[in-house]
Structure 1
Protein backbone atom coordinates (compact mmCIF):
# COMPACT_ATOMS: atom_id res chain seq x y z
CA UNK A 1 0.00 0.00 0.00
CA UNK A 2 1.15 3.56 -0.73
CA UNK A 3 2.77 4.83 2.49
CA UNK A 4 1.65 8.42 2.02
CA UNK A 5 -1.98 7.38 1.61
CA UNK A 6 -1.76 5.10 4.64
CA UNK A 7 -0.36 7.91 6.78
CA UNK A 8 -3.08 10.29 5.59
CA UNK A 9 -5.78 7.77 6.49
CA UNK A 10 -4.21 7.02 9.88
CA UNK A 11 -4.05 10.73 10.80
CA UNK A 12 -7.65 11.28 9.69
CA UNK A 13 -8.82 8.28 11.73
CA UNK A 14 -7.05 9.60 14.82
CA UNK A 15 -8.47 13.09 14.38
CA UNK A 16 -12.08 12.01 13.74
CA UNK A 17 -12.05 9.15 16.23
CA UNK A 18 -13.61 6.57 13.94
CA UNK A 19 -13.04 4.87 10.62
CA UNK A 20 -16.46 5.79 9.31
CA UNK A 21 -16.22 9.54 10.00
CA UNK A 22 -12.67 9.71 8.65
CA UNK A 23 -13.70 7.74 5.56
CA UNK A 24 -16.55 10.17 4.91
CA UNK A 25 -14.17 13.14 5.06
CA UNK A 26 -11.61 11.51 2.76
CA UNK A 27 -14.12 10.08 0.30
CA UNK A 28 -12.96 6.54 1.05
CA UNK A 29 -14.65 3.44 2.42
CA UNK A 30 -14.24 2.50 6.10
CA UNK A 31 -12.71 -0.80 5.04
CA UNK A 32 -10.00 1.06 3.11
CA UNK A 33 -9.03 2.98 6.24
CA UNK A 34 -9.14 -0.16 8.38
CA UNK A 35 -6.82 -1.86 5.88
CA UNK A 36 -4.43 1.13 5.83
CA UNK A 37 -4.14 1.29 9.62
CA UNK A 38 -3.71 -2.48 9.78
CA UNK A 39 -0.91 -2.25 7.22
CA UNK A 40 0.92 0.34 9.36
CA UNK A 41 0.43 -1.73 12.53
CA UNK A 42 1.85 -4.83 10.82
CA UNK A 43 4.81 -2.83 9.55
CA UNK A 44 5.52 -1.34 13.00
CA UNK A 45 4.74 -4.46 14.99
CA UNK A 46 2.52 -2.54 17.44
CA UNK A 47 -1.12 -1.58 17.77
CA UNK A 48 -1.88 2.07 17.02
CA UNK A 49 -5.49 1.95 18.24
CA UNK A 50 -7.32 0.14 21.00
CA UNK A 51 -10.64 -0.91 19.48
CA UNK A 52 -13.86 -1.95 21.22
CA UNK A 53 -17.41 -2.19 19.95
CA UNK A 54 -18.15 1.25 21.38
CA UNK A 55 -14.99 3.28 20.91
CA UNK A 56 -11.45 3.45 19.63
CA UNK A 57 -8.52 5.29 21.16
CA UNK A 58 -4.86 5.77 20.35
CA UNK A 59 -2.37 3.59 22.18
CA UNK A 60 0.82 5.10 23.61
CA UNK A 61 2.61 4.03 20.43
CA UNK A 62 -0.25 5.53 18.42
CA UNK A 63 0.19 8.95 20.04
CA UNK A 64 3.92 8.89 19.27
CA UNK A 65 3.37 7.78 15.68
CA UNK A 66 0.59 10.34 15.14
CA UNK A 67 2.92 13.23 15.93
CA UNK A 68 5.54 11.92 13.53
CA UNK A 69 2.96 11.27 10.82
CA UNK A 70 1.57 14.79 11.10
CA UNK A 71 5.03 16.29 10.83
CA UNK A 72 5.89 14.10 7.83
CA UNK A 73 2.70 15.07 5.99
CA UNK A 74 3.24 18.74 6.83
CA UNK A 75 6.82 18.68 5.56
CA UNK A 76 5.75 17.01 2.32
CA UNK A 77 3.02 19.60 1.85
CA UNK A 78 5.46 22.44 2.46
CA UNK A 79 7.99 20.93 0.07
CA UNK A 80 5.33 20.56 -2.62
CA UNK A 81 4.30 24.19 -2.17
CA UNK A 82 7.90 25.37 -2.37
CA UNK A 83 8.63 23.39 -5.54
CA UNK A 84 5.41 24.64 -7.14
CA UNK A 85 6.11 28.25 -6.22
CA UNK A 86 9.62 28.14 -7.66
CA UNK A 87 7.96 28.05 -11.06
CA UNK A 88 4.70 29.89 -10.40
CA UNK A 89 3.50 32.92 -8.48
CA UNK A 90 2.71 32.59 -4.80
CA UNK A 91 -0.54 30.82 -4.02
CA UNK A 92 -2.35 29.09 -1.19
CA UNK A 93 -3.33 30.45 2.21
CA UNK A 94 -1.27 32.53 4.61
CA UNK A 95 -2.62 32.58 8.18
CA UNK A 96 -1.34 35.12 10.69
CA UNK A 97 -2.30 36.50 14.08
CA UNK A 98 -1.49 39.83 15.74
CA UNK A 99 -2.81 42.23 18.40
CA UNK A 100 -5.75 44.38 17.23
CA UNK A 101 -3.72 47.59 17.61
CA UNK A 102 -1.28 46.44 14.88
CA UNK A 103 -4.07 46.52 12.29
CA UNK A 104 -4.61 50.26 11.79
CA UNK A 105 -1.01 51.07 12.76
CA UNK A 106 0.63 49.14 9.90
CA UNK A 107 -0.76 45.65 9.29
CA UNK A 108 -3.81 46.75 7.28
CA UNK A 109 -1.65 48.50 4.70
CA UNK A 110 0.90 45.68 4.50
CA UNK A 111 -1.82 43.07 3.96
CA UNK A 112 -3.43 45.16 1.21
CA UNK A 113 -0.08 45.59 -0.53
CA UNK A 114 0.60 41.86 -0.24
CA UNK A 115 -2.77 40.98 -1.78
CA UNK A 116 -2.15 43.42 -4.64
CA UNK A 117 1.26 41.89 -5.32
CA UNK A 118 0.18 38.23 -4.91
CA UNK A 119 -3.43 37.80 -6.04
CA UNK A 120 -3.31 33.99 -5.77
CA UNK A 121 -2.65 34.04 -2.01
CA UNK A 122 -5.58 34.00 0.40
CA UNK A 123 -4.96 35.82 3.70
CA UNK A 124 -6.53 34.84 7.01
CA UNK A 125 -5.78 37.48 9.67
CA UNK A 126 -6.78 36.87 13.29
CA UNK A 127 -6.49 40.01 15.44
CA UNK A 128 -6.52 39.29 19.17
CA UNK A 129 -4.37 39.88 22.24
CA UNK A 130 -4.10 36.21 23.20
CA UNK A 131 -0.77 34.40 22.89
CA UNK A 132 -2.12 31.62 20.68
CA UNK A 133 -0.26 28.42 19.85
CA UNK A 134 0.87 28.64 16.23
CA UNK A 135 0.63 24.89 15.71
CA UNK A 136 -2.78 24.39 17.32
CA UNK A 137 -4.11 27.50 15.60
CA UNK A 138 -2.64 26.54 12.23
CA UNK A 139 -0.88 29.91 11.89
CA UNK A 140 2.05 30.54 9.58
CA UNK A 141 3.30 33.50 11.61
CA UNK A 142 2.42 35.85 14.45
CA UNK A 143 3.29 39.45 15.29
CA UNK A 144 3.72 40.04 19.02
CA UNK A 145 5.18 42.35 21.59
CA UNK A 146 5.77 40.58 24.87
CA UNK A 147 7.29 37.19 25.77
CA UNK A 148 8.90 35.35 22.86
CA UNK A 149 10.73 32.50 24.63
CA UNK A 150 8.32 29.89 23.33
CA UNK A 151 9.58 26.42 22.31
CA UNK A 152 9.87 25.68 18.60
CA UNK A 153 9.45 29.32 17.53
CA UNK A 154 11.84 31.71 15.82
CA UNK A 155 11.48 35.31 17.02
CA UNK A 156 12.64 37.89 14.46
CA UNK A 157 12.81 41.51 15.70
CA UNK A 158 10.59 43.79 13.62
CA UNK A 159 10.68 47.20 15.34
CA UNK A 160 11.78 48.68 18.64
CA UNK A 161 9.00 49.11 21.18
CA UNK A 162 9.81 52.72 22.08
CA UNK A 163 7.15 54.22 24.34
CA UNK A 164 5.96 57.85 24.10
CA UNK A 165 3.65 60.06 26.14
CA UNK A 166 1.35 61.84 23.70
CA UNK A 167 -1.46 64.34 23.51
CA UNK A 168 -3.36 66.31 20.91
CA UNK A 169 -2.38 70.01 20.59
CA UNK A 170 -6.01 70.94 21.22
CA UNK A 171 -6.08 69.20 24.60
CA UNK A 172 -2.90 70.94 25.80
CA UNK A 173 -4.21 74.32 24.69
CA UNK A 174 -7.55 73.79 26.39
CA UNK A 175 -6.03 72.44 29.61
CA UNK A 176 -3.51 75.25 29.88
CA UNK A 177 -1.22 73.30 32.23
CA UNK A 178 2.25 72.16 31.10
CA UNK A 179 3.02 68.45 31.45
CA UNK A 180 5.83 67.93 33.96
CA UNK A 181 6.58 65.38 36.66
CA UNK A 182 5.13 67.89 39.12
CA UNK A 183 1.88 68.55 37.19
CA UNK A 184 1.12 65.30 35.36
CA UNK A 185 -1.44 64.22 37.98
CA UNK A 186 -3.50 67.33 37.15
CA UNK A 187 -4.11 66.03 33.63
CA UNK A 188 -6.72 63.75 32.13
CA UNK A 189 -5.27 60.35 31.32
CA UNK A 190 -6.43 57.64 28.93
CA UNK A 191 -5.11 54.32 30.27
CA UNK A 192 -4.84 51.07 28.34
CA UNK A 193 -5.69 48.08 30.52
CA UNK A 194 -3.89 44.83 29.73
CA UNK A 195 -2.85 41.82 31.87
CA UNK A 196 0.83 42.39 31.03
CA UNK A 197 0.83 46.05 32.07
CA UNK A 198 1.58 47.20 35.62
CA UNK A 199 -1.42 49.11 36.95
CA UNK A 200 0.29 51.07 39.74
CA UNK A 201 3.40 52.83 38.42
CA UNK A 202 5.62 53.54 35.41
CA UNK A 203 9.40 53.58 35.12
CA UNK A 204 11.10 56.54 33.38
CA UNK A 205 14.76 57.10 32.56
CA UNK A 206 16.74 60.29 32.05
CA UNK A 207 20.52 60.70 31.95
CA UNK A 208 21.01 57.26 33.49
CA UNK A 209 18.60 57.94 36.34
CA UNK A 210 15.64 55.56 36.77
CA UNK A 211 12.49 57.19 38.15
CA UNK A 212 9.42 55.41 39.49
CA UNK A 213 6.29 57.38 38.67
CA UNK A 214 2.90 56.52 40.21
CA UNK A 215 0.35 55.80 37.49
CA UNK A 216 -2.40 58.46 37.54
CA UNK A 217 -6.06 57.67 38.06
CA UNK A 218 -7.47 57.50 34.53
CA UNK A 219 -10.16 59.79 33.22
CA UNK A 220 -10.92 56.88 30.90
CA UNK A 221 -9.67 53.28 30.97
CA UNK A 222 -10.28 50.56 28.39
CA UNK A 223 -8.93 47.22 27.24
CA UNK A 224 -9.32 48.37 23.62
CA UNK A 225 -6.31 50.36 22.47
CA UNK A 226 -7.89 51.78 19.31
CA UNK A 227 -10.91 53.04 21.26
CA UNK A 228 -8.56 55.04 23.51
CA UNK A 229 -6.55 56.26 20.51
CA UNK A 230 -9.69 57.72 18.96
CA UNK A 231 -10.40 59.60 22.21
CA UNK A 232 -6.78 60.80 22.32
CA UNK A 233 -7.02 62.19 18.79
CA UNK A 234 -10.30 63.88 19.73
CA UNK A 235 -8.49 65.81 22.46
CA UNK A 236 -9.61 64.07 25.65
CA UNK A 237 -6.32 63.65 27.47
CA UNK A 238 -2.85 62.14 27.52
CA UNK A 239 -1.91 58.58 26.62
CA UNK A 240 1.08 56.25 26.77
CA UNK A 241 1.59 54.74 23.33
CA UNK A 242 4.25 52.93 21.28
CA UNK A 243 6.17 54.85 18.64
CA UNK A 244 5.00 52.49 15.87
CA UNK A 245 1.43 53.64 16.59
CA UNK A 246 2.17 57.30 17.26
CA UNK A 247 4.46 57.94 14.25
CA UNK A 248 1.88 58.90 11.57
CA UNK A 249 -0.05 61.17 13.94
CA UNK A 250 3.12 62.89 15.13
CA UNK A 251 4.15 63.43 11.51
CA UNK A 252 0.76 64.94 10.63
CA UNK A 253 0.67 67.14 13.74
CA UNK A 254 -2.45 65.45 15.14
CA UNK A 255 -0.41 64.44 18.19
CA UNK A 256 2.59 65.85 20.01
CA UNK A 257 4.96 64.23 22.49
CA UNK A 258 5.17 65.39 26.08
CA UNK A 259 7.92 64.79 28.63
CA UNK A 260 10.31 64.33 25.71
CA UNK A 261 13.36 64.46 28.01
CA UNK A 262 12.31 61.15 29.54
CA UNK A 263 12.34 57.61 28.18
CA UNK A 264 9.43 55.47 29.33
CA UNK A 265 10.26 51.77 29.82
CA UNK A 266 8.07 49.36 27.82
CA UNK A 267 6.99 47.30 30.85
CA UNK A 268 6.28 43.61 30.27
CA UNK A 269 5.74 44.13 26.53
CA UNK A 270 9.51 44.19 26.16
CA UNK A 271 11.81 46.33 24.00
CA UNK A 272 10.89 44.77 20.63
CA UNK A 273 7.96 43.80 18.45
CA UNK A 274 8.73 40.39 16.93
CA UNK A 275 7.62 38.29 14.00
CA UNK A 276 7.19 34.73 15.28
CA UNK A 277 7.10 31.65 13.09
CA UNK A 278 7.68 27.94 13.43
CA UNK A 279 11.24 26.77 12.82
CA UNK A 280 10.18 24.32 10.10
CA UNK A 281 8.42 27.12 8.16
CA UNK A 282 11.45 29.41 7.93
CA UNK A 283 11.95 28.54 4.26
CA UNK A 284 8.33 28.83 3.20
CA UNK A 285 8.42 31.36 0.41
CA UNK A 286 5.08 33.04 1.11
CA UNK A 287 6.08 33.54 4.76
CA UNK A 288 9.45 34.93 3.75
CA UNK A 289 7.94 37.29 1.16
CA UNK A 290 5.32 38.58 3.60
CA UNK A 291 7.96 39.29 6.27
CA UNK A 292 10.15 41.10 3.72
CA UNK A 293 7.19 43.27 2.66
CA UNK A 294 6.36 43.98 6.30
CA UNK A 295 9.95 45.02 7.07
CA UNK A 296 10.10 47.17 3.95
CA UNK A 297 6.92 49.02 4.93
CA UNK A 298 8.24 49.66 8.45
CA UNK A 299 11.46 51.13 7.03
CA UNK A 300 9.49 53.24 4.53
CA UNK A 301 7.40 54.75 7.35
CA UNK A 302 10.39 55.28 9.65
CA UNK A 303 9.21 52.86 12.31
CA UNK A 304 11.63 49.98 11.72
Structure 2
Protein backbone atom coordinates (compact mmCIF):
# COMPACT_ATOMS: atom_id res chain seq x y z
CA UNK A 1 0.00 0.00 0.00
CA UNK A 2 1.40 3.43 -0.93
CA UNK A 3 2.18 5.94 1.81
CA UNK A 4 -0.40 8.57 0.84
CA UNK A 5 -3.23 6.04 0.84
CA UNK A 6 -2.14 4.88 4.27
CA UNK A 7 -2.03 8.46 5.57
CA UNK A 8 -5.51 9.14 4.15
CA UNK A 9 -6.89 6.07 5.93
CA UNK A 10 -5.14 7.00 9.19
CA UNK A 11 -6.53 10.55 9.14
CA UNK A 12 -10.04 9.32 8.36
CA UNK A 13 -9.86 6.78 11.21
CA UNK A 14 -8.70 9.46 13.65
CA UNK A 15 -11.46 11.87 12.57
CA UNK A 16 -14.29 9.31 12.67
CA UNK A 17 -13.18 7.43 15.77
CA UNK A 18 -13.25 3.89 14.42
CA UNK A 19 -12.37 1.82 11.38
CA UNK A 20 -15.94 1.03 10.34
CA UNK A 21 -17.17 4.64 10.01
CA UNK A 22 -13.94 5.74 8.31
CA UNK A 23 -14.13 2.82 5.87
CA UNK A 24 -17.72 3.72 4.99
CA UNK A 25 -16.74 7.33 4.24
CA UNK A 26 -13.75 6.29 2.11
CA UNK A 27 -15.62 3.50 0.33
CA UNK A 28 -13.16 0.93 1.57
CA UNK A 29 -13.18 -1.98 4.00
CA UNK A 30 -12.39 -1.84 7.75
CA UNK A 31 -9.70 -4.49 7.25
CA UNK A 32 -7.92 -2.29 4.68
CA UNK A 33 -7.85 0.61 7.15
CA UNK A 34 -6.67 -1.66 9.95
CA UNK A 35 -3.84 -2.87 7.70
CA UNK A 36 -2.88 0.71 6.72
CA UNK A 37 -2.65 1.88 10.34
CA UNK A 38 -0.66 -1.23 11.31
CA UNK A 39 1.76 -0.51 8.46
CA UNK A 40 2.31 3.05 9.68
CA UNK A 41 2.76 1.89 13.27
CA UNK A 42 5.36 -0.63 12.15
CA UNK A 43 7.29 2.03 10.22
CA UNK A 44 7.21 4.45 13.15
CA UNK A 45 7.83 1.89 15.86
CA UNK A 46 5.03 3.49 17.91
CA UNK A 47 1.35 2.85 18.44
CA UNK A 48 -0.91 5.48 16.93
CA UNK A 49 -4.11 4.35 18.68
CA UNK A 50 -4.98 2.85 22.03
CA UNK A 51 -7.62 0.23 21.22
CA UNK A 52 -10.10 -1.54 23.48
CA UNK A 53 -13.24 -3.51 22.65
CA UNK A 54 -15.33 -0.39 23.35
CA UNK A 55 -13.26 2.53 22.07
CA UNK A 56 -10.12 3.70 20.32
CA UNK A 57 -8.22 6.92 20.98
CA UNK A 58 -5.09 8.53 19.63
CA UNK A 59 -1.91 8.07 21.59
CA UNK A 60 0.41 11.04 22.16
CA UNK A 61 2.43 9.85 19.17
CA UNK A 62 -0.80 9.53 17.21
CA UNK A 63 -1.79 13.13 17.91
CA UNK A 64 1.59 14.40 16.74
CA UNK A 65 1.52 12.22 13.64
CA UNK A 66 -2.07 13.25 12.81
CA UNK A 67 -1.12 16.91 12.51
CA UNK A 68 1.80 16.06 10.23
CA UNK A 69 -0.32 13.71 8.12
CA UNK A 70 -3.00 16.37 7.62
CA UNK A 71 -0.39 18.90 6.50
CA UNK A 72 1.24 16.39 4.14
CA UNK A 73 -2.09 15.56 2.49
CA UNK A 74 -3.01 19.25 2.23
CA UNK A 75 0.30 20.15 0.61
CA UNK A 76 -0.05 17.28 -1.86
CA UNK A 77 -3.57 18.44 -2.75
CA UNK A 78 -2.41 22.03 -3.28
CA UNK A 79 0.54 20.90 -5.38
CA UNK A 80 -1.72 18.71 -7.53
CA UNK A 81 -4.16 21.59 -8.00
CA UNK A 82 -1.32 23.90 -9.00
CA UNK A 83 0.03 21.50 -11.62
CA UNK A 84 -3.46 20.80 -12.95
CA UNK A 85 -4.22 24.51 -13.24
CA UNK A 86 -1.04 25.09 -15.23
CA UNK A 87 -2.30 22.66 -17.85
CA UNK A 88 -5.95 23.69 -17.91
CA UNK A 89 -8.23 26.58 -17.18
CA UNK A 90 -9.10 27.36 -13.59
CA UNK A 91 -11.52 24.89 -12.07
CA UNK A 92 -12.79 23.70 -8.69
CA UNK A 93 -14.11 25.67 -5.73
CA UNK A 94 -12.93 28.98 -4.27
CA UNK A 95 -14.14 29.74 -0.75
CA UNK A 96 -14.32 33.37 0.40
CA UNK A 97 -15.46 35.12 3.57
CA UNK A 98 -16.15 38.87 3.78
CA UNK A 99 -18.30 41.36 5.72
CA UNK A 100 -21.85 41.69 4.32
CA UNK A 101 -21.31 45.38 3.45
CA UNK A 102 -18.62 44.47 0.91
CA UNK A 103 -21.07 42.59 -1.33
CA UNK A 104 -23.13 45.47 -2.77
CA UNK A 105 -20.14 47.83 -2.67
CA UNK A 106 -17.81 45.79 -4.88
CA UNK A 107 -17.72 42.04 -4.20
CA UNK A 108 -20.86 41.28 -6.26
CA UNK A 109 -19.29 42.82 -9.36
CA UNK A 110 -15.89 41.19 -8.86
CA UNK A 111 -17.37 37.73 -8.31
CA UNK A 112 -19.61 37.92 -11.37
CA UNK A 113 -16.76 39.06 -13.62
CA UNK A 114 -14.54 36.31 -12.24
CA UNK A 115 -17.19 33.65 -12.91
CA UNK A 116 -17.81 34.94 -16.43
CA UNK A 117 -14.13 34.53 -17.29
CA UNK A 118 -13.63 31.24 -15.39
CA UNK A 119 -16.77 29.14 -15.91
CA UNK A 120 -15.20 26.00 -14.41
CA UNK A 121 -14.81 27.61 -10.97
CA UNK A 122 -17.53 27.49 -8.31
CA UNK A 123 -17.60 30.18 -5.62
CA UNK A 124 -18.67 29.74 -2.02
CA UNK A 125 -19.05 33.23 -0.51
CA UNK A 126 -19.91 33.60 3.18
CA UNK A 127 -20.91 37.10 4.23
CA UNK A 128 -20.29 37.41 7.93
CA UNK A 129 -19.17 40.03 10.46
CA UNK A 130 -17.41 37.34 12.48
CA UNK A 131 -13.99 38.74 13.33
CA UNK A 132 -12.69 35.78 15.34
CA UNK A 133 -10.79 33.86 12.68
CA UNK A 134 -11.52 34.92 9.10
CA UNK A 135 -9.00 32.56 7.49
CA UNK A 136 -9.12 29.04 8.85
CA UNK A 137 -9.15 25.73 7.04
CA UNK A 138 -12.65 26.44 5.70
CA UNK A 139 -11.71 29.40 3.47
CA UNK A 140 -9.21 30.14 0.70
CA UNK A 141 -9.19 33.88 1.31
CA UNK A 142 -10.88 36.57 3.37
CA UNK A 143 -11.60 40.27 3.02
CA UNK A 144 -11.72 42.44 6.10
CA UNK A 145 -11.12 45.95 7.40
CA UNK A 146 -10.49 45.11 11.03
CA UNK A 147 -7.45 43.86 12.96
CA UNK A 148 -5.12 41.72 10.85
CA UNK A 149 -2.49 40.60 13.36
CA UNK A 150 -3.12 36.91 12.72
CA UNK A 151 -0.29 34.36 12.92
CA UNK A 152 0.56 32.56 9.69
CA UNK A 153 -1.70 34.83 7.59
CA UNK A 154 -0.57 37.04 4.69
CA UNK A 155 -2.42 40.39 4.50
CA UNK A 156 -2.32 42.44 1.28
CA UNK A 157 -3.73 46.01 1.39
CA UNK A 158 -6.47 46.34 -1.21
CA UNK A 159 -8.14 49.75 -0.94
CA UNK A 160 -7.93 52.68 1.47
CA UNK A 161 -10.57 52.78 4.18
CA UNK A 162 -11.21 56.55 4.38
CA UNK A 163 -14.45 57.64 6.01
CA UNK A 164 -16.61 60.59 4.94
CA UNK A 165 -19.87 62.19 6.05
CA UNK A 166 -22.83 61.76 3.66
CA UNK A 167 -26.52 62.54 3.33
CA UNK A 168 -29.14 62.16 0.62
CA UNK A 169 -30.52 65.12 -1.36
CA UNK A 170 -33.93 64.37 0.18
CA UNK A 171 -32.60 64.80 3.71
CA UNK A 172 -30.77 68.02 2.82
CA UNK A 173 -33.91 69.43 1.17
CA UNK A 174 -35.80 68.77 4.40
CA UNK A 175 -33.17 69.68 7.00
CA UNK A 176 -30.76 71.95 5.14
CA UNK A 177 -27.15 71.46 4.12
CA UNK A 178 -25.64 73.58 6.87
CA UNK A 179 -23.69 70.97 8.81
CA UNK A 180 -20.67 71.98 10.90
CA UNK A 181 -18.85 71.04 14.07
CA UNK A 182 -20.95 73.71 15.79
CA UNK A 183 -24.41 72.43 14.81
CA UNK A 184 -24.05 68.74 13.94
CA UNK A 185 -25.92 67.76 17.13
CA UNK A 186 -29.04 69.41 15.67
CA UNK A 187 -29.21 66.91 12.80
CA UNK A 188 -30.59 63.38 12.61
CA UNK A 189 -27.89 60.72 12.74
CA UNK A 190 -27.62 57.13 11.60
CA UNK A 191 -24.92 55.36 13.63
CA UNK A 192 -23.37 51.96 13.03
CA UNK A 193 -22.88 49.91 16.19
CA UNK A 194 -20.03 47.41 16.36
CA UNK A 195 -17.99 45.95 19.24
CA UNK A 196 -14.82 47.48 17.77
CA UNK A 197 -16.26 51.00 17.57
CA UNK A 198 -16.40 53.63 20.32
CA UNK A 199 -19.99 54.57 21.24
CA UNK A 200 -19.18 57.97 22.76
CA UNK A 201 -17.02 59.99 20.37
CA UNK A 202 -15.34 60.12 16.95
CA UNK A 203 -11.96 61.47 15.94
CA UNK A 204 -11.87 63.63 12.80
CA UNK A 205 -8.97 65.26 10.99
CA UNK A 206 -8.67 68.55 9.14
CA UNK A 207 -5.25 68.46 7.56
CA UNK A 208 -2.88 67.89 10.47
CA UNK A 209 -5.48 69.04 12.99
CA UNK A 210 -7.12 66.26 15.00
CA UNK A 211 -10.49 66.92 16.68
CA UNK A 212 -12.75 64.91 18.96
CA UNK A 213 -16.48 64.88 18.14
CA UNK A 214 -18.92 63.76 20.80
CA UNK A 215 -21.37 61.32 19.26
CA UNK A 216 -24.93 62.69 19.09
CA UNK A 217 -27.96 60.68 20.13
CA UNK A 218 -28.77 58.63 17.00
CA UNK A 219 -32.12 58.83 15.25
CA UNK A 220 -31.37 55.26 14.15
CA UNK A 221 -28.66 52.96 15.50
CA UNK A 222 -28.06 49.46 14.18
CA UNK A 223 -25.44 46.75 13.95
CA UNK A 224 -26.47 46.10 10.32
CA UNK A 225 -24.62 48.32 7.88
CA UNK A 226 -26.88 47.62 4.87
CA UNK A 227 -29.99 48.54 6.87
CA UNK A 228 -28.46 51.91 7.79
CA UNK A 229 -27.33 52.53 4.21
CA UNK A 230 -30.91 51.98 2.97
CA UNK A 231 -32.16 54.47 5.58
CA UNK A 232 -29.47 56.96 4.54
CA UNK A 233 -30.50 56.73 0.88
CA UNK A 234 -34.13 57.22 1.96
CA UNK A 235 -33.26 60.52 3.59
CA UNK A 236 -33.49 59.58 7.26
CA UNK A 237 -30.30 61.29 8.42
CA UNK A 238 -26.53 61.77 8.22
CA UNK A 239 -24.04 58.92 8.29
CA UNK A 240 -20.31 58.40 8.16
CA UNK A 241 -19.51 56.03 5.29
CA UNK A 242 -16.25 54.50 4.08
CA UNK A 243 -15.30 55.92 0.70
CA UNK A 244 -15.38 52.48 -0.97
CA UNK A 245 -19.06 52.21 -0.06
CA UNK A 246 -20.11 55.80 -0.76
CA UNK A 247 -18.35 56.24 -4.12
CA UNK A 248 -21.02 54.83 -6.51
CA UNK A 249 -23.86 56.69 -4.75
CA UNK A 250 -21.91 59.95 -4.82
CA UNK A 251 -21.18 59.46 -8.52
CA UNK A 252 -24.89 58.97 -9.28
CA UNK A 253 -25.99 61.92 -7.13
CA UNK A 254 -27.88 59.67 -4.69
CA UNK A 255 -25.67 60.92 -1.85
CA UNK A 256 -23.89 64.20 -1.16
CA UNK A 257 -20.65 64.55 0.79
CA UNK A 258 -20.77 66.99 3.71
CA UNK A 259 -17.92 68.71 5.54
CA UNK A 260 -15.43 67.47 2.90
CA UNK A 261 -12.56 69.22 4.66
CA UNK A 262 -12.94 66.74 7.54
CA UNK A 263 -12.18 63.02 7.45
CA UNK A 264 -13.23 60.72 10.24
CA UNK A 265 -10.46 58.42 11.42
CA UNK A 266 -11.23 54.74 10.76
CA UNK A 267 -10.50 53.85 14.42
CA UNK A 268 -10.33 50.12 15.15
CA UNK A 269 -11.23 49.15 11.57
CA UNK A 270 -7.87 50.43 10.38
CA UNK A 271 -6.85 52.51 7.34
CA UNK A 272 -7.13 49.74 4.71
CA UNK A 273 -9.27 46.89 3.50
CA UNK A 274 -7.11 43.79 3.30
CA UNK A 275 -7.28 40.50 1.44
CA UNK A 276 -5.98 37.71 3.66
CA UNK A 277 -4.92 34.14 2.99
CA UNK A 278 -2.82 31.50 4.66
CA UNK A 279 0.83 31.31 3.66
CA UNK A 280 0.49 27.84 2.14
CA UNK A 281 -2.05 29.21 -0.38
CA UNK A 282 0.24 31.95 -1.73
CA UNK A 283 0.93 29.96 -4.92
CA UNK A 284 -2.61 28.70 -5.46
CA UNK A 285 -3.53 30.02 -8.89
CA UNK A 286 -7.24 30.47 -8.15
CA UNK A 287 -6.40 32.67 -5.16
CA UNK A 288 -3.86 34.73 -7.11
CA UNK A 289 -6.22 35.28 -10.05
CA UNK A 290 -9.13 36.33 -7.82
CA UNK A 291 -6.90 38.83 -6.00
CA UNK A 292 -5.91 40.23 -9.40
CA UNK A 293 -9.62 40.73 -10.17
CA UNK A 294 -10.07 42.61 -6.88
CA UNK A 295 -7.12 44.89 -7.62
CA UNK A 296 -8.25 45.50 -11.20
CA UNK A 297 -11.69 46.57 -9.95
CA UNK A 298 -10.22 49.27 -7.74
CA UNK A 299 -7.68 50.41 -10.33
CA UNK A 300 -10.57 50.99 -12.75
CA UNK A 301 -12.76 52.73 -10.14
Shared fold by TM > 0.5?
Answer: yes
Partner of 1:87: 87
TM-score where L is the length of structure 2 = 0.98
Matches within 5 A, 1:1-304: 1-133=1-133, 136-176=136-176, 178-301=178-301
Taking a change above 3 Å as real, the CA distance of residues 135 and 35 of structure 1, as seen in their structure-2 partners, is farther
Contact 1:134 1:140 in 2 (8 A): no
How many Å separate the matches in 1 of 2:270 and 2:133? 20
Residue 272 to residue 135, structure 1, CA distance change in 2 (3 Å): closer
Give, in whole Å, the separation in 2 of the partners of 1:183 and 1:135. 43
Query: Distance in 2 between the 1:231 and 1:205 partners?
Result: 26
SS of the equivalent of 1:155 reads: strand
SS at match of 1:93: strand
Query: Per the alignment, in what secondary structure is the counterpart of residue 230 of structure 1?
Result: helix
**Distance (Å, rounded) in 2 between the aligned partners of 1:108 and 1:287:** 17
Judge conservation of contact 1:196–1:269 (CA < 8 Å) in 2.
Answer: yes
Q: Given the superposition, is the C-alpha separation of residues 96 and 251 from structure 1 closer, same or farther in structure 2, using an over 3 Å criterion?
A: same
Deviations 1:161-184 (A, max 9, x none): 100111012211210261100110
**Cα 1:177–1:158 shift into 2, 3 Å:** closer
Q: Could you say what secondary structure the match of 2:248 adopts?
A: helix
SS at match of 1:151: coil
Flag structure 1 segments of 5+ consecutive residues without an equivalent.
Answer: none
Query: How many angstroms does 1:87 deviate by?
Result: 1.1
State the Cα distance separating 1:111 from its structure 2 match.
Answer: 0.5
Distance 1:134 1:175, change over 3 A: closer
8 A contact 1:152–1:278 mirrored in 2: yes
Question: SS of the counterpart of 1:245?
Answer: helix
Q: How far did residue 133 of structure 1 move?
A: 3.4
Gapped regions of structure 2 (runs ≥ 5): none
* Contact 2:96/2:140 (8 A) holds in 1: yes
Q: Note the alpha carbon deviations across 1:246-277, whole angstroms, 9 max, x for none.
A: 00001111111111111210010001100000
| Secondary structure, counterpart of 1:32 in structure 2 | helix
- Runs of 4+ in structure 1 over 4 Å off: 134-137
Structure 1 window deviating more from structure 2 (71-80 vs 129-138): it is 129-138
Report the Cα distance in structure 1 between the residues aligned to 2:236 and 2:209, rounded to whole angstroms: 31
Question: Structure 1's 97 and 60: CA in aligned 2 closer, same or farther, altered over 3 A?
Answer: same
Q: Give the CA deviation at 1:136.
A: 4.2
Q: Report the count of equivalent residues.
A: 301
Name the SS of the counterpart of 1:280 in structure 2.
helix
RMSD: 1.1
